[in-house]
Amino acid sequence: MIGILAVQGGVQEHERTLDRLGVPHRQVRRIEHLEGLSGIILPGGESTTMSKLLELGGMLHPLCDALASGLPAYGTCAGMILLASEILDTRPDAHSLDAIDMTVRRNAFGRQVDSFEADLDVAGIPAPVTAVFIRAPWVERVGDQVEVLARVPSGPAAGAIVAVRQGRCMATSFHPEVTENTSVHQLFLQMVAEAGYVHHLPEQEVTAQRV
């Protein structure tokens, strides 16, 4: 069972991709929706709004705890920002999940009108991936345990890091869910299968939900 964080952002596109792959999924809006997940997708959207809604809904710390305990995660665009340990050009009250040791700059590629596509070589995927960048971030620093999966091949942003992995967490600046190519999601699902993880809420959180 794959969860898709559904507090804000492009949830349906990921749902359609998982449907094409025949993978069961559910939207994650409340703490109890984390129970029984084998992985979670953090979609694109507005990262500061998403972080605030996680905090207001009491989801921020349980989701952090789930990732720390081994729940595999894949973040696209805003999802990448949420997974970062450090965020540049964000609001002072924004939160992150601190799941990947990296520094991410919001809207690094510019405004919506500066959105673009590029064919990328992504480690672990045999054929080039057409990547769609929409007000996308990029990664300016990675820790020693972070594997760089893809960089922009050419143009003004040549060399910019746009896909990473650390342990059971993966993130991309781009949106594979808005294309017909399912290879990036398949790479994440391979990570999920290798992890063999099923998340269970701590007893105190289960009790709190019953009250």
Burial class of residue 127 (count of CB atoms within 10 Å of its CB; 0-12, 13-18, 19+): exposed
106 is in an annotated binding site: yes
Distance linking the first and last C-alpha atoms of the chain? 26
Q: What is the token pair recorded at 74? A: 């894949």
Question: Rounded to whole angstroms, how far apart are CA atoms 177 and 75?
Answer: 11
Number of residues in the chain: 211
45 is in an annotated binding site: yes
Which of 150, 126, 21, 1 minimizes the C-alpha distance to 76?
A: 150
87 is in an annotated binding site: no
The catalytically annotated residue of 33, 169, 177, 199 is: 177
Clarify whether 77 is annotated catalytic. Answer: yes
46 is in an annotated binding site: yes
Clarify whether 205 is annotated catalytic. Answer: no
The catalytically annotated residue of 14, 25, 95, 175 is: 175
Q: What is the token pair recorded at 81? A: 């920002």
Clarify whether 194 is annotated catalytic. Answer: no
Residue 81 near residue 48, CB atoms below 8 Å: no
Angle at the Cα of 113 (from 107 to 117), degrees rounded to 5? Answer: 80
The catalytically annotated residue of 13, 33, 77, 185 is: 77
Annotated binding site: 45-47, 106, 134-135
Annotated binding site for L-glutamine: 45-47, 106, 134-135
Active site residues: 77, 175, 177
